[in-house]
Amino acid sequence: MNSLKTDLEMFNLNKTLAIVTGAARGNGAAIISGFEKAGAKVLAVDTQKTEYKMAVIGDISDHSIIQKVNTIVTNRNFKNLVLINNAGISKPSPSPYPHEDWDITLKVNLTAPFMLIESLIPLFKKTKKGSIINITSLNAELAFPNNPAYNASKGGLKMLTKFYAKSLGEYGVRVNNVGPGYMVTDMTQKSYSNEKLKKSREKHTFLGRWGQPEDLVGVCIFLASDASSYITGQDIYVDGGWTANGLIE
């Protein structure tokens, strides 16, 4: 029993400060709830007002918002710093794809995580312990129609993760990707409400269902904690088996 308790302590997030972007709803809100239950202090970042104790309201692709995040984190005490780049947008459109949609999607989904990581590198180097979790997508691996910007941004984020895993490893910082499959969120509500599309996506998984935001909590706690102390530069897909599925009958 004592050994089991010791093993479970590897997942404890006491003395952890976690920054979660896209925090107000969906995947971000579920992750924050799970992290708080695991003992972490959380800084929530979103364009929408939240009720969290620590929050920064604004567009994470804005330099001033990133600076606010950096200032708050610098003035907090912690032993383990975690950054979860969850904020993202999707703007599907048939060809010709609007240039403005391309620009804003890349800005939010790829450039903002890059800028936020860069701003926190001095703190990560000082702490000598931490975890960066980038929330990618099935689209980091697979081509979907009518959304080149989302495909490109998530594929780019996947490789940005591997770059930072390599460059920050010497400081004890681990960087990994978590790729959700089709999750029931505001972003996917249109597809989920369409019975034909809903069933088609369910059929593509091994588990026969859509994911829920809560399905992401366990893997994020794992990657943020000592339980994954030798895991970095990896892609973990929380997709019910979607990426492993071949023939769809």
Measured from the Cβ of residue 237, the count of other Cβ atoms closer than 10 Å reads 20
- Annotated catalytic residue within 150, 164, 182, 237: 150
Contact 167, 232 (CB under 8 A): no
Residue 132: which residues within 8 A CB-CB, separation 6 or more?
82, 83, 84, 85, 117, 161, 164, 168, 173, 174, 175, 176
Nearest to 238 by CA among 96, 136, 166: 136
DSSP per residue over 156-218, as a string? HHHHHHHHHHHHHGGGTEEEEEEEE-SB-SGGGHHHHHSHHHHHHHHHTSSSSS-B-GGGGHH
Gap between the Cα atoms of 142 and 239, Å rounded: 12
Q: Among this protein's residues, is 150 annotated catalytic? A: yes
- Between strands 41-46 and 80-85, the pairing is unpaired
Residues with active-site annotation: 150
